[in-house]
Amino acid sequence: MSPTTVDRVPLHTAHQINERIKQETDERVRRFARQPEGIPTRLKELDEEWDVERVLETNASTLAFIGVALGGLVDKRWLILPALVTGFLFQHATQGWCPPLPVLRRLGYRTSREIDIERNALKALRGDFADSLPAASPDIRAANAMQAARG
């Protein structure tokens, strides 16, 4: 059985990269547990954050378009570019991996689920899920919010 859409990118990402992304998210949530006045701004930033799928799709379509244009205007050999790019995109759609993925993950691009985990943890800290977090120190509240968000 192939991995679910939610799991396939992390499964094809090096453990240390997944761990770094998780730790950076945990640290941001801890920071906002101590400074909750910044949560609304961070939630807006998360709404604007591009997930790794969107970046892959945008880059693939841009490179494919450039390859077709150059193939039509300059030299037909440029048509190899869209052939390669669409092959990579197909590979990503079916397997959850393609050559640009490790680079994008190292650059810090997260999956939509990883972004949603941070979003839900911040909303829990803000109190959106009535009584979901007992009164405690900011670090304990942040840990509880992350645990609830990761479900």
- In this prediction the pTM is 0.87
3-state percent breakdown (helix, strand, coil) of the chain, nearest 5: 75, 0, 25
Residue 12: C-alpha distances to residues 59, 85, 99, 101, 108 (Å): 19, 19, 11, 8, 15
Per-residue confidence at 58, pLDDT binned at 50, 70, 90? very high
Using 50, 70 and 90 to split pLDDT, how confident is the model at 131?
low
Higher pLDDT, 146 or 57: 57
Q: How confident is the model at residue 72 (pLDDT cuts 50, 70, 90)?
A: very high
pLDDT, residue 6, reads 78
Binning pLDDT at 50, 70 and 90, where does residue 132 land? low
C-alpha 56, offset from chain centre: 11
Closest C-alpha to 151, from 115, 130, 120 = 120
pLDDT band at 75 (very low <50, low <70, confident <90, very high): very high
Calculate mean pLDDT across residues 108-120. 97
> Mean pLDDT lowest for which of 52-61, 99-108, 119-128, 139-148?
139-148
Look over the chain and give the mean of its residue pLDDT values, rounded to a whole number: 92
Q: Which of 79, 129, 81 is nearest to 144 (CA)?
A: 129
Residue 142 pLDDT: 85
Q: Which residue carries 């939610």 as its tokens? A: 6
> What are the extents of the domains in the chain?
1-49+113-151, 51-109
Name which residue leads in pLDDT, 146 or 114.
Answer: 114
Give the integer Cα–Cα distance in Å for 4 and 123: 26
Q: What pLDDT digit, counting tens, does each position of 76-92 carry?
A: 999 999 999 999 999 99
